[in-house]
């Protein structure tokens, strides 16, 4: 994956130039066809590591052959959009602090699609995917030269680390592909595996999602398993730990440039402040504060459950009023975790 040279007018270089002009940090081109990790993905699901994410097994045939999601598709234009990495760690994973990346990237990819049509002089059949269908985006990104699979399962780029979103635009254009990224630059490093608070990695590059804090705070709909609650610490939504410790991010992660990904006001403050704020929200306040946010995925009940769990881990007597109020929450799930949190604070107080 190379940035186009000045004066180069090939279709591939023009596409990349437009992609960079739209704000993408990475742009590469990959051929479509049989996908390298489709069998491993199916095996991963069969092992139960996907947990409640029942949508993942769908579209297995399309996932195995990237030509199938769009009739006549030949090439994939694969892009990466950084969401920072230099901002301080906090209770909300960096990717979710601003506007929903699906929407932000969809707009940019639609613009790229239209600009390609202008360049070639005729309509192009194309379709964008941003975690929105049976596409193995990581496979296509590696095939397009954008990076390698880290031991924490994230795609890592040697120039910007792993704090970036992957988007794919399938097109019925025959384009010259970039050289795939063949190297594995993790070496003997295991910092990401060693740092995981819940021991979610079965082995390098194999994640048991049911133990992952991101899964527990976002995808899981029921109660957080009791044995995992304290391990969540002060994390309310998602987790960046395995990325934070990666040497490639320590050295090469970017300053946040995309305005849409700047942290919302409601998420300012430490974990206790954010958790208390979330627990006080009713459904209307939740919809207002998180309109256009990826955090809507957890719904109010999920966020309030997480907030109560965090206060049980790091809260003090000053947080008891917020938790007592949550005992009357219309969602029993929230009341259950508020009860647990109050018990935890009481136990911590006794042992001080």
Q: How many CB atoms lie within 10 A of CB 58?
A: 10
DSSP SS3 for 148: strand
Give CA–CA dist 252/137, Å, rounded.
22
User: DSSP characters for 59-88?
Assistant: THHHHHBTTTTSTT--EEEEEEEE--B-SP
Residue 34: both structure tokens together: 């049989």
End-to-end CA distance of the chain: 56
- CA distances in angstroms from 73 to 67, 131, 288, 310, listed in the order given: 6, 18, 40, 46
3-class DSSP assignment, residue 192: helix
- Catalytic residue list contains 270: no
Residues 19/77, Cβ–Cβ less than 8 Å: yes
Cβ–Cβ under 8 Å, residues 96 and 241:
no
Backbone φ and ψ for 299, nearest 5 degrees, come out as 60, 165
Tell me how far apart the alpha carbons of residues 334 and 321 are, in angstroms, rounded to a whole number. Answer: 15
Catalytic residue among 131, 139, 240, 244: 131
Residues in the chain: 352
Q: Which residues contact 293 (CB under 8 A, 6 or more apart)?
A: 96, 98, 99, 100, 264
Residues labelled catalytic:
131
């Amino acid at each position: 994956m190379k940035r186009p040279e000045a004066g180069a007018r090939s279709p591939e270089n023009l596409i990349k130039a437009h992609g960079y002009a739209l704000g993408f940090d990475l742009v590469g081109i990959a051929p479509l066809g049989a996908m390298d990790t489709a069998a491993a993905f199916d095996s991963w699901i069969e092992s139960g590591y996907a947990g409640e994410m029942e949508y993942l097994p769908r579209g297995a045939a399309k996932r195995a052959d990237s030509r199938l999601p769009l009739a006549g598709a030949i090439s994939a234009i694969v892009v990466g959009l950084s969401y920072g990495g230099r901002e301080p760690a906090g209770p909300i994973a960096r990717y979710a602090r601003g506007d929903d990346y699906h929407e932000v990237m969809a707009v940019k990819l639609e613009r790229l699609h239209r600009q390609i049509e202008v360049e070639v002089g005729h309509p192009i059949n194309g379709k964008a995917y941003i975690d929105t269908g049976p596409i193995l985006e990581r496979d296509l990104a590696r095939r397009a030269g954008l990076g390698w699979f880290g031991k924490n399962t994230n795609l890592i780029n040697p120039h910007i680390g792993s704090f970036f979103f992957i988007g794919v635009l399938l097109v019925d254009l025959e384009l010259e592909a970039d050289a795939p990224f063949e190297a594995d630059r993790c070496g003997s490093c295991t910092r990401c595996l060693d740092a995981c608070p819940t021991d979610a990695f079965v082995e390098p590059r194999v994640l048991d999602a049911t133990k992952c804090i991101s899964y527990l705070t976002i995808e899981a709909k029921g109660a957080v398993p009791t044995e995992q609650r304290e391990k969540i610490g002060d994390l309310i939504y998602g987790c960046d730990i395995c990325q934070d410790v990666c040497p490639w991010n320590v050295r090469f992660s970017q300053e946040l440039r995309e305005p849409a990904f700047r942290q919302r006001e409601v998420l300012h403050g430490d974990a206790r402040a954010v958790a208390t704020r979330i627990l006080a929200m009713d459904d209307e306040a939740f919809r207002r504060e998180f309109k256009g946010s990826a955090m809507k995925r957890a719904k109010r009940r999920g966020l309030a459950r997480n907030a109560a769990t965090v206060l049980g881990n790091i809260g003090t007597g000053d947080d008891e009023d917020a938790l007592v109020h949550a005992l009357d929450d219309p969602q029993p799930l929230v009341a259950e975790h508020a009860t647990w949190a109050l018990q935890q604070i009481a136990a911590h107080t006794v042992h001080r």
